[in-house]
Amino acid sequence: MRFYPYKLACLLAFGCFVSVTWIKSIPSDEGSTVMPDLQILYKRLLVAEELGGQVSQDLSSILEQLRNLSKTGNDTYLYSVHNRTGFKVSVVLGIPTVKRDKQSYLVNTLSSLLFSLTSSQCQDLLIIVFVAETNLDYVNSVAETIMKNFPKEVQSGLLEVISPSQYYYPDFTSLKETFGDSKERVKWRTKQNLDFSFLMLYAQDKGTFYVQLEDDVVAKSGYYDEMKAYATNEASKPWLYLEFSQLGFIGKLFRTRDLPMIAEFFLMFHRDKPIDWLLDHILWVKVCNPEKDDKHCTEQKALLKQRYKPSLFQHVGLHSSLPGKLQHLKDKDFGKQTLYKAHNNPPAEVSSTLKHYQTHSLKSAYEGRDFFWAITPLQGDYILFNFSQPVYTSGYLFRSGNIETNGDKFFNTTVEVLPSSVLARHKVAIPHYRESGNGFIIVGEFVNGLAEGKIEAALQPVSALRLVVHSDSDVWALLSEILIKV
Ligand SMILES: *[C@@H]1O[C@H](CO)[C@@H](O)[C@H](O)[C@H]1NC(C)=O
Ligand SMILES: *[C@@H]1O[C@H](CO)[C@@H](O)[C@H](O)[C@H]1NC(C)=O
Ligand SMILES: *[C@@H]1O[C@H](CO)[C@@H](O)[C@H](O)[C@H]1NC(C)=O
Ligand SMILES: *[C@@H]1O[C@H](CO)[C@@H](O)[C@H](O)[C@H]1NC(C)=O
Ligand SMILES: *[C@@H]1O[C@H](CO)[C@@H](O)[C@H](O)[C@H]1NC(C)=O
């Protein structure tokens, strides 16, 4: 029995490369080199099936789907430039996502995960979005949304989008209703088992650690280093998983080498129980002795899982992926994270045409007490810092978005200074400066939500600095860091 599902695991993972659809280039000969191997695997699998004698019905049906897959050659749809093949990262994040009737949180979730990453961390991380839907139009729309929002990350291979073939899923209409769950819920939890298994098997050879996430979370700033350091530090201990959130299946970290075993287990019982119960059963199977008491079992199981505090991921979705279900669960150990960075800025009178949301005013952001959060900027909107006295400032930094609301950036927005001396205003002959209205000179602009730069001596001292929005935005705008260097 052990041998048998292992082959299945190989096959599933292998199947992922049978047919790939690329957004960019499509090396079409990839499938043909893989197919013969796949056939051999099937043959071995059939032998294993005979040797194994009685095979569970569930596994048989998955096997049948896999056979069907090989016939059609239609398997995973993979959207990625994929130039990281054969290269292992330290941490792989797996995010299954499904179509929701209500709000989608996927872009926010990805923004949050990407927000605080340094470039070396990006090199050592892979984020896989698994679109667990078979409607190709829908899958394409998700892939396009991701391409549009994160072109650089997809280009660099940091972000991958995959989706299963329509043949991956069994007929969900014949499921037995158990544990008082409705037909809809049984279908949902069964599909979730299949989805998580697929993703785990796909991810198993891509890194050292695998972290299961969901598509409606926010991350804590610095989560990557904390996770990696803890996992590395605890590497010699016998845990099966580390928990970086206490909720459901969010933030569970596994060694990728354990993934085939875990996915096999999920696949074997995918119709029987929800995935978090199955995970607990794995622990039970591994360490509990039926001849000993519950206390012994609990103690032994505790050795296989370790909780990290504080939690590094928080659940944000209100609408569950199960239609109609509201999901209010929040992780109490996540705590509050600071969503802005404070600086000592020179005294100034601040004003803006932008309307702030709730208490997130510009003044409190400038004084380092909060972030500034404004309702959708339109062309011509501005933010003005009118210094009480002209200041000599070597440079500036404006960061828009924060780890929970990273999408709310400034787009097409310039940084402009008003030199206090009229003479200096005429120095715009300096080639890289352009004049704006009212004597202001453009010194920089927002790129990817960040504006950072120096202000040349020729323009000093400056009596005011402003940000000017040049086109209507689709989203709100948030400033989480304001720094005027003096
Ligand atoms: C596999 O394909 C056959 C015919 O090609 C079909 O009858 C069968 O239902 C398929 N099985 C599954 C599980 O999709
Ligand atoms: C693969 O899938 C596409 C899109 O669903 C379909 O049009 C095509 O016929 C399939 N190919 C095979 C060989 O079944
Ligand atoms: C992948 O390729 C793109 C351009 O094709 C390049 O910019 C990027 O650095 C590459 N990434 C890796 C990890 O090799
Ligand atoms: C800055 O404030 C002073 C004093 O209120 C005012 O005279 C000046 O016009 C303001 N500057 C700008 C650019 O609005
Ligand atoms: C920025 O705004 C200007 C003026 O409205 C417009 O001409 C330009 O195309 C915009 N640039 C971008 C990148 O949207």
Give mean pLDDT, residues 440-461.
93
Phi, psi of 131 (to 5 degrees): -85, 105
Say if ligand 1 is within 6 A of residue 167 CB.
yes
Q: How far is the CA of 464 from the centre of ligand 4 (A)?
A: 8
pLDDT at 62: 55
The three-state secondary structure class of 83 is: coil
**pTM exceeding the 0.85 threshold for the entire prediction:** no
Mean pLDDT of 377-396: 97
pLDDT surpasses 60 at 36: no
237 occurs within a structural domain: yes
Would strands 159-163 and 125-131 be described as parallel, antiparallel, or unpaired? parallel
DSSP 243-303: ESSSSTTTTEEEEGGGHHHHHHHHHHTTTTS-HHHHHHHHHHHHH--TTS-HHHHHHHHHH
Compute how many other C-beta atoms are within 10 angstroms of the C-beta atom of residue 208. 17
Give, using CA atoms, the residue closest to atom 14 of ligand 4.
Answer: 386
Q: CATH code at 452?
A: 2.60.120.260
Average pLDDT, integer, range 7-15: 38
CA 84 to ligand 3: nearest atom: 13
Identify whether 327 is part of a domain.
Answer: yes
> Which atom of ligand 4 sits closest to the CA of residue 386?
1
**Measured from the CA of 61, which atom of ligand 1 is nearest?**
13
55 occurs within a structural domain: no
The residue with greater pLDDT, 42 or 224, is 224
| 341 domain-assigned | no
Choosing from 334, 364, 396, the residue where a domain stops is 334
Ligand 5: residue of 381, 409, 448, 470 to mutate (most ligand atoms within 8 A of CB) is 470
Residue count of the chain, please give it.
486
Cβ of 135 below 6 Å from ligand 2: no
Same-domain pairing of 248 and 164:
yes
Residue 81 has pLDDT above 90, yes or no: no
Ligand 1 atom with least separation from CA of 67: 1
φ, ψ of residue 186 to 5 degrees: the values are -65, -40
Q: How far apart are CA 68 and CA 49, in angstroms?
A: 17
Cα–Cα distance, 41 to 305 (Å, whole number): 34
- Asked whether residue 319 falls in the same domain as residue 390, the answer is no
Domain termination site, one of 277, 311, 334: 334
User: What would the two tokens of residue 316 be?
Assistant: 């944000």
The pLDDT of 281-310, averaged and rounded, is 93
Shared domain for 292 and 385, answered yes or no, is: no
The pLDDT value recorded for residue 184 is: 85
pLDDT tens for each residue of 145-154: 998 889 889 9
Tell me, yes or no, whether 110 and 194 share the same domain.
yes
Given a cut of 60, is residue 231 above it in pLDDT?
A: yes
Strand (E) or helix (H) holding 390: strand 382-391
Name which of 66-80, 257-271, 341-355, 448-462 the model is least confident about: 66-80
Q: Which three-class secondary structure state does DSSP give residue 420? A: coil
Residue range(s) defining the domain that contains residue 442: 348-485
pLDDT at 385 over 50: yes
CA pair distance 206, 217, nearest whole angstrom? 23
pLDDT at 451 over 50: yes
| Residue 4: pLDDT over 60 | no
How many domains does one find in the chain?
Answer: 2
Q: Compute the distance between CA of residue 232 and CA of residue 227 in angstroms, rounded to an integer.
A: 8
48-77 pLDDT tens trace? 444 443 334 444 555 455 444 433 444 556
pLDDT score of 474 more than 90: no
Instruction: Look at residue 123 in the predicted model and tell me its pLDDT.
Output: 92
Q: What is the CA(51)–ligand 3 centre distance, in A?
A: 46
Could you tell me what percentage of the chain is helix, strand and coil, using 3-state DSSP and rounding each to the nearest 5? 35, 25, 40
Query: Given pLDDT bands bounded at 50, 70 and 90, which one contains residue 122?
Result: very high
Q: What is the pLDDT of residue 397?
A: 97
Which residues have CB under 8 Å from 141's CB, separation 6+?
Answer: none
464 in contact with ligand 4, CB cutoff 6 A: yes
Q: Per the structure block, which two tokens stand in for 241?
A: 């998983």
Does residue 451 sit within a domain?
A: yes
Average pLDDT, the chain: 81
Boundary of a domain, candidates 306, 334, 362: 334
Q: How confident is the model at residue 26 (pLDDT cuts 50, 70, 90)?
A: very low
Q: Are residues 195 and 326 in the same domain?
A: yes
Return the best residue to mutate from 60, 64, 165 for the ligand 1 pocket (most ligand atoms within 8 A of CB). Answer: 64
Residue at 46 is within a domain: no
Domain membership of residue 8 (yes or no) is: no
